[in-house]
Chain A
């Protein structure tokens, strides 16, 4: 048990943070929703009703989609683009999907390589892109969920203002949808840019996200 906790401490730490933050968001979001309802003469919602409402769903989904997009782009862009001096980047000259030997696939696989890395054809192709495909799928599903929940929440506001509700197509072209989407995207892209560039010159001793403290600024793809 102790060994399990130690071996999975990083995942468990973030799982715990995620659950605490989601619970906190549901409580704060419910209080904020009820304050607005009170001011507008509407009816307040219980916590249980709020966490199953479109208002909560859109707030959660819009953040999820942008996080998964951030990691999807980071995973895919670092295949083809490099940043000299950044531990987040491959060394210049290694751009692309690399050789089978470098990737230890097919006849270059090791005895303990995953089963689908030892074969060729469609299974190898799928497994070789499984991380990007999965992150991309979760991004698309989260973005779809944002559009559906966002439309429901937006249409309730439209009707409360005595305006016509929007169809799904109208909503995905609306200012509300793109404001929610882009305000999350810009912050994610800035965070990635900061990490890629700051890690060239700054260090965090002991972190694999940083170069070793004594590594040269121009050293690329070195993790500490």
Chain B
């Protein structure tokens, strides 16, 4: 009887953990999708609001603000293929992009987008901060 209760408790705990992990992955994935939707819809200001402060700052160049710069990168996302979360960092693989996010108290913000893999080296990203 005790073994049965322990087993049920363990399975509930593991299922709960899996549930948390998948909800977290969903949140990070949605943040990546919202960013790409804003870019695809030409809403530069909205896209920049989904970037980390450092990433938004990195796009500001002379007269060109973040909103203009983020649209000029011709980023393209697509459907989510995979999401991984480790600590406060996330990587979301979309059909045509790999997006890196960081968890802030207010939620997930994009710190890297328009990223190309370079083997063991860090990804080369159009938006990076």
Contact = CB atoms under 8 A, between A and B. Distances in A.
A153 B88 CA distance: 10
Interface in A161-204: 161-165
Interface string B19-58: 0000000000000000000000000000000000010000
A159 B100 contact: yes
Interface in B75-129: 84, 86-91, 100, 102-105, 112, 115, 117, 120-123, 125, 128
A162 B115 contact: yes
Contact of B87 (A156, A161, A163): A156
A165 B87 contact: no
Contacts of B87: 53-54, 152-153, 155-156, 159
Interface of A: 41-43, 53-54, 152-153, 155-156, 158-165
A42 B88 contact: yes
Given A41-B54, A42-B102, A43-B104, A162 B84 contact: no
A165 B103 CA distance: 17
B113 to A, nearest CB: 11
B88 A156 contact: yes
Given A160-B89, A162-B123, A163-B122, 14 more contacts: A43-B88, A53-B87, A152-B86, A153-B87, A155-B87, A156-B89, A159-B87, A159-B89, A161-B122, A162-B100, A163-B121, A163-B123, A165-B84, A165-B91
Given A41-B54, A155-B86, A156-B89, A162 B120 contact: no
Contacts of A164: 91, 117
Contacts of B104: 43
Nearest to B117: A164
A161 B102 CA distance: 11
Given A42-B102, A43-B104, A43-B105, A162 B125 contact: yes
Contacts of A162: 100, 112, 115, 122-123, 125, 128
Nearest to A37: B88
A156 B117 contact: no
A119 B54 CA distance: 71
Nearest to B115: A162
A124 B105 CA distance: 58
Q: Which of A43, A163, A165 has the most CB of B within 10 A?
A: A163
A155 B88 CA distance: 11
Q: Which of B54, B89, B90 has the most CB of A within 10 A?
A: B89
Q: Which of B86, B100, B121, B128 has the most CB of A within 10 A?
A: B86
B75 to A, nearest CB: 16
Contacts of B122: 161-163
A152 B128 CA distance: 23
Given A42-B102, A43-B105, A159 B86 contact: yes
